[in-house]
Amino acid sequence: MIVVIAVSPTIPDNEALTALATLRALGVDVGALERSDVWRFDVAPAAAAGLVDAVCAIETIFNPNKHALAVMSGSDPSAGEVWIDEPAAAVRFGKPPLRIAGRLLEGVDRVERFTAWRLRDRHGAPVAREVVDRALETLLLNPAFQRAIR
């Protein structure tokens, strides 16, 4: 089964704030911009219940002093959201049993990591796909080595 976990900063995110200011300066109509790391796990159903605890124990993924962790309801980006994948530098792990930072991930067959950008309008609602596309073409995506998942 697929389990998707988002790890988002709880402290001011200078990268997102800078990207927001740049998008606005480039004429992209966006009210808010949030960034998170998205981890997509292919995990055996019997091991899924312990996956969140296992991820929380990996300090290179989650630090409770500066991150919030959420299990996402779907396995793909939602409205107003795009995930950036860097295939050449992708965090993909080989044969089970898989380890991240020396920590065993029981029952996990595959792991992928993406950078998620959530774009909101000035009222807090997800932006239209056209706005996401404009943000991608002006700043958030370098098509030479990244791909967008919408």
Amino acid occupying residue 56:
C
**Dihedral angle over CA of 52, 53, 54, 55, nearest 10:** 50
Structural domain span for residue 119 = 2-149
- How many domains would you assign to the chain? 1
CA distances from 82 to 18, 36, 75, 138 (A): 18, 11, 12, 14
Mean pLDDT by 10 residues, the chain (150 residues): 97 97 98 97 94 95 97 95 83 70 88 95 98 98 95
The answer to whether the CB of 30 falls within 8 A of the CB of 23 is: yes
